[in-house]
Amino acid sequence: MIEVKNISKSFGDNHVIKNIDTQFEKGIVNLVIGRSGSGKTVFLKCMVGLFEPDTGEVLYDERNFTRMSENERKNVRQDIGMVFQMGALFDSLTVAGNVKFPLDMFSTMSESEKKDRVEFCLRRVNLEKAHNLYPAEISGGMRKRTAIARAISLNPKYLFCDEPNSGLDPETSILIDNLVMELTHEFNMTTVIITHDMNSVFEIGEKVMFLANGSKLWEGKGKDIFQSDNEGLKEFIFASELMKRFRKS
């Protein structure tokens, strides 16, 4: 479980994250939703230590990540897998090379064990035929799947995804969403996904937190989101014409 206690983050006079308190539970997909610019990515980066929060703490299974030294954080970081918005694959490495990279850096596996692990991860994301391709040679969906394979290569306890289906067609988006959910249940990970895709909320939102202007406005189970009487959340959910028609019907 990940506990976030009262974190805030400002850049100059711009208060991006304001006193957010929440918990992300193990074995389920936790979604953080909100409009573009609502502070979702900054919130995620504060959680994983890419930004230092101005106030508050982040605890990974009661380990206080915020108060750790950089050396102590290394142990926690090896339990973290992250899928970046654009994949963040290393351009100079092949698909298999990208997945093997964390194993080379942190595992004590033999070369054959690493090879087996890479095979397993790529098979798990249906990329077994893309071993020797470079990131520039594969599609956006394949890049995301490679990033997911890299993220799970070290068997992480915590998986973070920053808009994993942005820039993808609806069908591929659903594939990616379902893949992340399957992996979360299969490996009993604590998964946190940043998204503004309502489809993801319906498909995989086991727990949802809604952010607006850096503050938490609503939190609850995905299935309860339509019963919310929070005006900000309603505006967000029913912003599109399709959702407005859905509400009317």
| Residue among 181, 182, 70 at smallest CA distance from 193 | 181
Q: Which is nearer to other proteins, 112 or 136 (CB)?
A: 136
Q: Which is nearer to other proteins, 159 or 237 (CB)?
A: 159
Site residues (CB under 8 A) for other proteins, limited to 58-97? 73-75, 77-78, 80, 82, 84-86, 88-91
Q: How far is the CB of 165 from other proteins (least distance, A)?
A: 17
CA–CA distance, 43 with 40 (Å, rounded to integer): 5
Q: How far is the CB of 93 from other proteins (least distance, A)?
A: 10
Q: How far is the CB of 99 from other proteins (least distance, A)?
A: 13
Q: How many residues bind other proteins (CB under 8 A)?
A: 21
Exposed/middle/buried for residue 247 (C-beta within 10 Å: 0-12, 13-18, 19+): exposed
Residue 224's contacts (CB-CB under 8 Å, 6 or more residues apart) are none
User: With contact defined as beta carbons under 8 Å apart, do 162 and 41 qualify?
Assistant: yes
Q: Which is nearer to other proteins, 155 or 240 (CB)?
A: 155
- With CB under 8 A as the contact rule, which of the stretches 57-65, 101-109, 118-126, 164-172 interacts with other proteins? 101-109
Q: Is 142 in the site for other proteins (CB under 8 A)?
A: no
Q: Which is nearer to other proteins, 82 or 183 (CB)?
A: 82
| Residue among 50, 104, 56, 100 at smallest CA distance from 73 | 50
Q: How far is the CB of 107 from other proteins (least distance, A)?
A: 12
CA–CA distance, 202 with 223 (Å, rounded to integer): 8
User: With contact defined as beta carbons under 8 Å apart, do 133 and 99 qualify?
Assistant: no
Q: Which is nearer to other proteins, 165 or 225 (CB)?
A: 165
Q: Which is nearer to other proteins, 105 or 227 (CB)?
A: 105
Q: How far is the CB of 157 from other proteins (least distance, A)?
A: 14
Site residues (vs other proteins, CB under 8 A) = 45, 48-50, 73-75, 77-78, 80, 82, 84-86, 88-91, 102, 105-106
